[in-house]
Amino acid sequence: MADKREGNRRRRAQPSDLMWRPVVVLAFCVGLPHTSHADDGALLSDDTWRYKSAGDLAIDAGLVVGFPAALPTGLSTGVGAGVAKGRTLAWGARAAWVTATESSLAWTVTHSDLQLRVTGAVQKSAGRGTLGLRLGLGGTLVHESRVRNQGMRAGLTGSELETSAFAMLPAADLDAVLAVHIAGPWLLVTSGGPSVDVLDKKLHAGWSAQLGVAWQP
């Protein structure tokens, strides 16, 4: 029967197509072990966890949680990254982008905080680990998006429905930093501590924490 529908017809999988799949899977199973055959079959060796920490440059990135810079409630989540140079005394820069959405009866407010800091740290190595205290100074660029609850159902448009604003808030962080060498140049890094920013000429206290990895060549 001729198909008079417009467009492409779906073609059913034919038995010959299905027969190729096991063959492809089998080829991978046979071929891949040859490409990863090392250390006489041992998955772990003495070299696996060997690390090096020759450099004084460290670059890290990870997940960030914290108290929003300008909202009175909520939990901001996002990502952050930083670079630091130095041994006992280190300086560097950090940036993080976090966002939080909270609601009241009238508004749903989303704050996106871009945290920009210059940092100075005092740190001490102990075995595989490094302990430090890091002070960050800078600002937090806050983008606010407010949506009037029920406004769309009520037919509101424009600024009656949604508003947005930017603000740059002077801010400072004091973080305790713990870094542990895992393997090669890679470290597991966690940090956290109080933070403060200036909102409407008042100090607004908060906190932040980060869990991530660092690369120290």
Partner 1 sequence: MAAMTRVALVVASLAGCSDLSGFGGAVPALVTVHVQTTGELASVRPPGSPDPKLRVALVWGAQWLPEPLCILPPDDATVTALIAAGCRDPFGFVPDRVAADAPLASDGTASIGLLDLPAADVMVGDVTARVAYGSLVVYDDRDGNATLTLGLPSRLGGRQGPMEGDSGTQTLDVVYGASFVSMTEPDARLAFREGGFNQTAAFYPRSGCGDPLASFSIVSAGGFTAAAAVAAQAQGQLPPEDPATCSEASPETPVAVAFRRPAQVHELACEERLTDSSVRYREPPADPPDLAVRTYACPKIPDFGTGMANGRTELAISGRSDESCVGLSHYVLRGCRNDPLCALPAWDITATPPSWWPCPAQAAQ
Sites of contact with partner 1 (CB under 8 A): 70-72, 91, 93, 102, 104-107, 109, 111, 116, 118, 137-139, 141-142, 144, 146, 148, 150-151, 153-156, 160, 163, 165-170, 198-200
Smallest gap from residue 44 Cβ to partner 1 (A): 42
Question: Collapsing DSSP states into helix, strand and coil, what is residue 34?
Answer: helix
Q: Which is nearer to partner 1, 138 or 212 (by Cβ)?
A: 138
Smallest gap from residue 130 Cβ to partner 1 (A): 22
Report d(CA 46, CA 60) in Å as an integer: 26
Cα 206–212–213 angle (5° rounding)? 145
Q: Which is nearer to partner 1, 128 or 148 (by Cβ)?
A: 148
Smallest gap from residue 155 Cβ to partner 1 (A): 4
Q: Which is nearer to partner 1, 48 or 88 (by Cβ)?
A: 88
Smallest gap from residue 25 Cβ to partner 1 (A): 49
Residues 149 and 178 sit within 8 Å (Cβ to Cβ): no
Q: Which is nearer to partner 1, 49 or 166 (by Cβ)?
A: 166
Report d(CA 89, CA 106) in Å as an integer: 49
Contacts of residue 113, Cβ cutoff 8 Å, sequence gap at least 6: 68, 69, 70, 76, 78, 96, 97, 98, 99, 100, 140, 141, 142
Q: Which is nearer to partner 1, 45 or 88 (by Cβ)?
A: 88
Smallest gap from residue 193 Cβ to partner 1 (A): 20
Six token digits for residue 159: 């600024």
Report d(CA 101, CA 76) in Å as an integer: 8
Contacts of residue 41, Cβ cutoff 8 Å, sequence gap at least 6: none
